Copies of this chain bind each other. A is one copy, B any other.
Amino acid sequence: MNRRNTPTKEAVLNLLLNSSKALSQDAIERQLDIDINRATIYRVLNRFCEDNLVHKIVAEDGKQYFAICKKCENPQEIIKYHFHFRCLSCDTIECMQVPVEYSVPSGYEVQNANCVLTGTCNDCS
Interface residues of A, Cβ cutoff 8 Å to B: 56, 58-64, 83, 85, 88, 96, 98, 100-122, 125
Enumerate chain B residues within 8 angstroms of A109, measured Cβ to Cβ. Answer: 119-120, 125
In contact, B110 and A118 (Cβ under 8 angstroms): yes
In contact, A102 and B88 (Cβ under 8 angstroms): no
Copies in the complex: 2
CB-contact partner of A104 in B85, B105, B116, under 8 A:
B85
In contact, B58 and A60 (Cβ under 8 angstroms): yes
Also in contact, A122 and B102, with CB within 8 A (given A113-B115, A116-B113) = no
In contact, A108 and B122 (Cβ under 8 angstroms): yes
**How distant is A22 from chain B, measured CB to nearest CB, in Å?**
14
A121 to B101 CA separation, bound complex (whole angstroms): 18
Also in contact, A100 and B115, with CB within 8 A (given A58-B60, A108-B85) = yes
**How distant is A90 from chain B, measured CB to nearest CB, in Å?**
12
